Amino acid sequence: MMQTQKPHLIRLEVNYRGIFQKTLAYHISGDVVYAAHKEGKTAFSNGRYSDDPQRNGIPCANFAYFSKDLTEEDLEAEASASMDITEAEVVVVLDDTMVKGLEPWGGYGIRPINEKVVKDGVVLIVSNRKPADLIAQMEKKKFPYRIAILPGEASFAGLWYFKDDMTDVRVLGAIAKVAPEIASIDTVANYVASKYKSKEKAAAARKAYEEVKVSTVNAGEGIDWPYPKPILPGWKDFDEGVYVKGVKRGFQMGPRGQNRNPDFKRGTSKTQRPVVRFDLCTKCTLCWYDCPDEVFDPTTDGLYDVNYEYCTGCGRCAEVCPVEDCIVMVDELKFENQDSPYVLYKKDPENYVKWAEDKKGKERLMPSPVTGKGSTVSKVETPKPFKKGVVK
């Protein structure tokens, strides 16, 4: 009997933060398709069905398919009816804090960032961190794959308008390095030069090709995934119509005291989280009052606990808190869980303060997403010592 040969197919996923990185992700997933066309491949890209309308910071994804032997019709038949991609040879990650897990718009639970990568595939991350620090937050796989780091910060170039910082062409150059079977660096650089009429952009793509560092992640490296794996309902299982289940109004003092809708958890949308020095708090109520997501739970001693499962990391509370260093936004990758900081504080106030200062460190990051001029870091000289007498 004649064996049917499997068609040549490469699948690529681009993970990005909703709205902030939407334009950036669309540039990448569109341009990589055009570059592949230049080499005579069949290719197309699409946005994940469930991601629109998007919300700020929510993990979203585009995907793309490439083949050197399928016709356009056959490639479409193979892939275009999909609402999402199930496996990928190349997984691109535009914000490294997404390695903690993805909780997309559908809200069906927290997925590992490397969920879809296949054996010997590659996860390409824009990051200034070491591979080991990222792998330490990712799910362990039963097979080896590769991790590729393109040096850089999470770009918010696509916020409101496209303030170009060349992340799009740099990622294209990096894709040419980790998956030259999609398009070679020469093809990518020529495509970029002709599309943008810019030698600088083509040079940026070539430089990224050189800069990207690839290493192997062995089978079993990473963590046991701490969350239940989401099971998405098939289309026949969807309820008729669209509705949001209500939750009963309810309020009690103390951690997790307010009834919240579990479908609106936004834990994975944050790149930073607020760390509160309860011992410095003057109980002014401003954080509780101003938080757009009603994340603060009032407690019986007048302090305000943070429910990190619902925090978007917007930084508003840190902005309005009138006490210096009382609320500081800290890199999300420094935390292992979403536990209540107030409970930790009440257990051992002095130790909590040490823990909080350790997380805060001595540097304060000031992101500058709108100007696109990059982030600035300032040093903090002396973190305030534990102030006794606030806990009653």
User: Which of 89/297 has CB closer to ligand SF4?
Assistant: 297
Q: How far is the CB of 283 from ligand SF4 (least distance, A)?
A: 5
Q: Which residues contact 290 (CB under 8 A, 6 or more apart)?
A: 316, 317, 320
User: Which of 24/329 has CB closer to ligand SF4?
Assistant: 329
Q: How far is the CB of 159 from ligand SF4 (least distance, A)?
A: 17
User: Which of 135/295 has CB closer to ligand SF4?
Assistant: 295
CB contact at 8 A, 367 and 375: yes
User: Which of 257/315 has CB closer to ligand SF4?
Assistant: 315
- Residue 40 CA to residue 32 CA, distance in Å, equals 13
Binding to ligand SF4 by residue 312, rule CB under 6 A?
yes
Binding to ligand SF4 by residue 281, rule CB under 6 A?
yes
Q: How many positions of this chain bind ligand SF4 (CB under 6 A)? A: 26
User: Which of 315/369 has CB closer to ligand SF4?
Assistant: 315
User: Which of 218/368 has CB closer to ligand SF4?
Assistant: 368
CA-CA-CA-CA torsion sign (104, 110, 111, 113): positive
**H helices present in the chain, as ranges:** 22-38, 72-79, 131-135, 167-178, 185-196, 199-211, 286-290, 316-320, 341-347, 349-360
Q: Which of 383, 324, 289, 41 is nearest to 181 (CA)?
A: 41
Q: How far is the CB of 109 from ligand SF4 (least distance, A)?
A: 21
The span of 24-32, 186-194, 257-265, 323-331 binding ligand SF4 (CB under 6 A) equals 323-331
CB contact at 8 A, 110 and 97: no
Binding to ligand SF4 by residue 295, rule CB under 6 A?
yes
- Residue 60 CA to residue 30 CA, distance in Å, equals 16
**Between helices 22-38 and 167-178, what is the axis angle to 10°?**
50
DSSP 8-class letter at 187: H
For ligand SF4, which residue of 147, 182, 212, 291 counts as binding (CB under 6 A)? 291
Binding to ligand SF4 by residue 351, rule CB under 6 A?
no
The alpha carbon torsion through 111, 115, 116, 118 (nearest 10 deg) reads 180
Binding to ligand SF4 by residue 390, rule CB under 6 A?
no
Q: How far is the CB of 322 from ligand SF4 (least distance, A)?
A: 6
Binding to ligand SF4 by residue 298, rule CB under 6 A?
no
- Residue 340 CA to residue 338 CA, distance in Å, equals 7
Binding to ligand SF4 by residue 286, rule CB under 6 A?
yes
Q: Could you tell me the two tokens for 221?
A: 């490296």
Q: How far is the CB of 32 from ligand SF4 (least distance, A)?
A: 34
- Residue 60 CA to residue 236 CA, distance in Å, equals 24
Binding to ligand SF4 by residue 261, rule CB under 6 A?
no
Binding to ligand SF4 by residue 330, rule CB under 6 A?
no
Q: Which residues bind ligand SF4 (CB under 6 A)?
A: 274, 276, 281-287, 291, 293, 295, 304, 306, 311-317, 320-321, 323, 326-327
